[in-house]
Structure 1
Amino acid sequence: MTDTTNRTLAAFGAVLIYASVIAYTDNYVRVIARDAGLWQFHATRTAMAFAILALVALPLSLKLWPKRPRAVMARSAIHGAAMVIYFGALAFLPVAQVAAGLFTAPIFVLLIQRFAYGRPILGLQILAVVVGFVGVVLVLGPEALSGATFAALLPVISGALYAMGNIATREWCEGETPETIVAGFFGMLGVIGLVGMAVLWAFPMEVPVGPEGFLQRGPVWPTGEFMWWTFVQAAGSLLGVGMIVKAYQIAEASRVSVFEYVILPASAAWGFFLWGETLTWIAVAGMALIVLAGVLIARPQRVQPPIASRQ
């Protein structure tokens, strides 16, 4: 009993580090967005992440080459698309709201498994889908409901793609090491970034000044601030993913998946301390419902769906 308790507490500590680091670094995407574009950010961050992986691969005996290259590539493409949308939304929306959209992924996992694989939605999971949907509606707010802005829906689209990637992780990538999946994920983001830079270099668009031009901005000469915060992003992402992988290795997935929701208050807290952002009580209630949906989904069932983590 003591060993189990200690491992659960250690897992919670790892998740807390993950949430604190990721929530902090994601809050600075708006700073990155002032000086460069989304595509240059992803290409640069991947180069920095690979440099860090190269330095630690031998000392840590990391296995980076996939057993099923096509499967890892396909999974990376799905997750890569999810994170391109996620980071694009960070330039316009509070981190807590974007994170809430991403953490709708377990709800979409249930729906995809039901309609694509014919697996039943069991017990309280049906209630979880309803509760989670209500939570998303509250977090998105009246603008999204009235159709006034597409940007508010982007985090939920990211969550849906992330759910597909999580299912692909289990269905296609069984037996792959965590570092292989992480390397494939960063590699795909780098490729997407390079393609986006090439397209916008060949066909430049009119770019608004500041964060509003994040999506349309092609390659530019990087500023010192851009390079620093992109490096912080790369290092923070590797540390965060390492912590969340460790958490799933030392404790039950059903418990860790619930712990992951600590990133929602962590994002809101960093948004308040760094930028003075506050959330409405309706948005806070929506986040609470999304967390409740995650708890219900994570309850032990005969069929355990994959959870959402930023890997």
Structure 2
Amino acid sequence: MTTSAENKSGLAILFILFGVLAISVNDMLIKQLSGDYPLHELVFLRSALGLAFSMFLVQMEGGWRILKTRQPVLHAIRGLLIVAANMSYFAALAALPLADATALFFAAPLLITLLSIPILGEKVGILRMTAVLVGFCGVILMQRPWAGAETLEVSRLVLLLPVFAALMYALNQLMTRKLGVSSKASALSVYIHMSFIVVSLGFYLVAGDGRFAAGTENPSLQFLLRAWIWPSGADWWFILGMGANAAIIGYCLSQAYRIADAATVAPFEYVGLPLAVFWGWLIFAQLPVWEVWAGIALILGSGLFVFLREQQKARVVARGPIKRQ
């Protein structure tokens, strides 16, 4: 007979897999539009549409009353963390191949496992800790510290943007685990979309006319600071897709980290790695260089080891100690 904890873990895994699929589609759409629109405009449109979808989910999970919270400050901090994660990651997408940016961002599950020790009090043994360190070796390899600027084709700062995004995302998901005890997944999603809307409107008020983009050729800065323009007819379909994806991502990730341990859920986010390679090849005709392939292998291998080790420990705990008769 399966236990309630096992059922919740299985459901959390389904949520994270569906959420990661939606993330991969979202990243592809963002990169597709990054040459014409400013990031804060895409974030505003995506989040406004995502908020509308999320409000429907709020009604399904209990109505407007579930939006009330006794921890508004913590929800605001969580919102700012995910905004920082997304903005820095999407800025990197404008300059890096999709698979490269995604692979660097996948330091996040490693960081979630590492940070779950001091923040959530979860136990991580020596074998899992070793696997995490191996994964970080993959991140360093993809940074190519031996290469010169002419070989990298992008600045070191751009290469670090996905890693910074990973740190912000890891902290966000650990806060989701804490706040999810008293908040529904749809409510957590609504708070996130509202944070995106507030921050993107702030960007519009400061830089929406594009004056700060003048004179810069850096694609990441151009993406951040370009002037707002009205979307063309065909692009509205991409934007609507991003809105639907935003609602799916916000709900599925919040639900997954709400109902299961972070160390159990996080490794399944690695499904996003082959998906990023697939979209990069199919849509942008880009494949990773050997250093990125090697980094992907190290990160993926370490993540799978962490997951298998977690499952092994769970089975031992479920059986309990063997008693002599």
- Structure 2-normalised TM-score? 0.77
Would you say 1:101 and 2:110 are equivalent positions?
Answer: no
Residues 233-256 of structure 1: per-residue CA shift (max 9 Å, x gap): 120132244444555678776544
Distance 1:296 1:88, change over 3 A: same
For residue 150 of structure 1, report the CA deviation from its aligned partner: 1.4
Residue 82 of structure 2 corresponds to: 79
Indicate the SS of the match to 1:61. Answer: coil
Residue 308 of structure 1 corresponds to: none
For residue 278 of structure 1, report the CA deviation from its aligned partner: 0.9
Query: In structure 2, how many angstroms separate the alpha carbons of the residues matched to 1:252 and 1:300?
Result: 10
Query: Is residue 177–residue 262 contact of structure 2 (8 Å, CA) maintained in 1?
Result: no
Residue 70 of structure 2 corresponds to: 67
State which of 293, 303, 306 in structure 1 corresponds to 2:302: 293
For residue 109 of structure 1, report the CA deviation from its aligned partner: 4.0
- Greater mean alpha carbon deviation, residues 127-136 or residues 110-119: 110-119
For residue 15 of structure 1, report the CA deviation from its aligned partner: 4.1
Query: In structure 2, how many angstroms separate the alpha carbons of the residues matched to 1:66 and 1:161?
Result: 23
Would you say 1:273 and 2:285 are equivalent positions?
Answer: no
Residue 21 of structure 1 corresponds to: 22
Residues 160-211 of structure 1: per-residue CA shift (max 9 Å, x gap): 1122223333456642221222111111111111111110147722166896
State which of 136, 141, 160 in structure 2 corresponds to 1:138: 141
Query: In structure 2, how many angstroms separate the alpha carbons of the residues matched to 1:249 and 1:108?
Result: 18
Query: Is residue 19–residue 262 contact of structure 1 (8 Å, CA) maintained in 2?
Result: yes
- Greater mean alpha carbon deviation, residues 197-206 or residues 187-196: 197-206
For residue 82 of structure 1, report the CA deviation from its aligned partner: 1.1
Residue 318 of structure 2 corresponds to: none
Distance 1:198 1:84, change over 3 A: same
Aligned residues: 303
For residue 221 of structure 1, report the CA deviation from its aligned partner: 2.6
Query: Is residue 200–residue 219 contact of structure 1 (8 Å, CA) maintained in 2?
Result: no
Distance 1:225 1:103, change over 3 A: same
| % same residue | 28
For residue 155 of structure 1, report the CA deviation from its aligned partner: 0.3
Indicate the SS of the match to 1:23. Answer: helix
Query: Is residue 85–residue 158 contact of structure 1 (8 Å, CA) maintained in 2?
Result: yes
For residue 70 of structure 1, report the CA deviation from its aligned partner: 1.3
Indicate the SS of the match to 2:310. Answer: coil
Residues 117-168 of structure 1: per-residue CA shift (max 9 Å, x gap): 9998631233123201211022333587869431111100111112222333
Query: In structure 2, how many angstroms separate the alpha carbons of the residues matched to 1:44 and 1:295?
Result: 36
For 1:137-156, list aligned pairs within 5 A. 137-141=140-144, 148-156=155-163
- Structure 1-normalised TM-score? 0.80
Query: Is residue 112–residue 171 contact of structure 2 (8 Å, CA) maintained in 1?
Result: yes
Query: In structure 1, how many angstroms separate the alpha carbons of the residues matched to 2:59 and 2:115?
Result: 39
State which of 235, 240, 260 in structure 1 corresponds to 2:269: 260
Query: In structure 2, how many angstroms separate the alpha carbons of the residues matched to 1:163 and 1:48?
Result: 25
Residue 88 of structure 1 corresponds to: 91
Query: In structure 2, how many angstroms separate the alpha carbons of the residues matched to 1:104 and 1:276?
Result: 25
The letter of the residue matching 1:32 is: L
Residues 66-91 of structure 1: per-residue CA shift (max 9 Å, x gap): 33111111111112111111111122
Indicate the SS of the match to 1:27. Answer: helix
Distance 1:85 1:188, change over 3 A: same
Indicate the SS of the match to 1:28. Answer: helix
Residue 221 of structure 1 corresponds to: 230
Unmatched tracts of structure 1, length 5 or more? 305-311
- Greater mean alpha carbon deviation, residues 3-12 or residues 248-257: 3-12
- Greater mean alpha carbon deviation, residues 37-46 or residues 171-180: 171-180
For residue 282 of structure 1, report the CA deviation from its aligned partner: 2.7
Residue 193 of structure 2 corresponds to: 186
Query: In structure 2, how many angstroms separate the alpha carbons of the residues matched to 1:77 and 1:142?
Result: 30
